[in-house]
Structure 1
Amino acid sequence: MTATEKKSNNLDDAQVLREIKNALNGLKFGSVEIAVHNGQVVQIERKEKFRLVTANQ
């Protein structure tokens, strides 16, 4: 798993919301976690789950 660091100096609310929307985009099963520190979003984490279906099912 990789992490992408983005400069967050004074991101406005619209930019933060765009990042959250990007994390949700295309997500079928999983979660998006938003970490807040001192009233500011400091991290957005996306966890995606894949279900493998066998030929017998």
Structure 2
Amino acid sequence: MSQEIQSRASNEVLQEIIRSIDLLRFGSIEITVHDGRVTQIERREKVRFNNDIQKQKAANNTVAA
């Protein structure tokens, strides 16, 4: 593989990793490598709910009504 193709592929992989990080608020990114090359990037996002905030909003809505 020529240096130019390797460099371009590496840039594409790096751009995808950066994009995955930018899109992620809470979670993880898994990078799979085979024979020294990135073959897969997985992004897992967590959605969390804070019950205290939800209870506070509910209480505020009850008072306002």
Alignment TM-score > 0.5, same fold: yes
What is the number of equivalent residue pairs in this alignment?
48
Dislocated runs of 4+, deviation >6 Å:
none
The structure in which a higher percent of residues are helix is 2
Q: Structure 2 length normalisation: TM-score?
A: 0.63
Unaligned runs of 5+ in 1: 1-9
Percent identical residues: 46
2:59 equivalent in structure 1: none
**Structure 2: gaps (5+ residues):** 1-5, 57-65
**Counterparts of 1:30 and 1:50 in 2: how far apart (Å)?**
8
Higher CA-based Rg: 2
Q: Give the aligned residue type for 1:56.
A: K
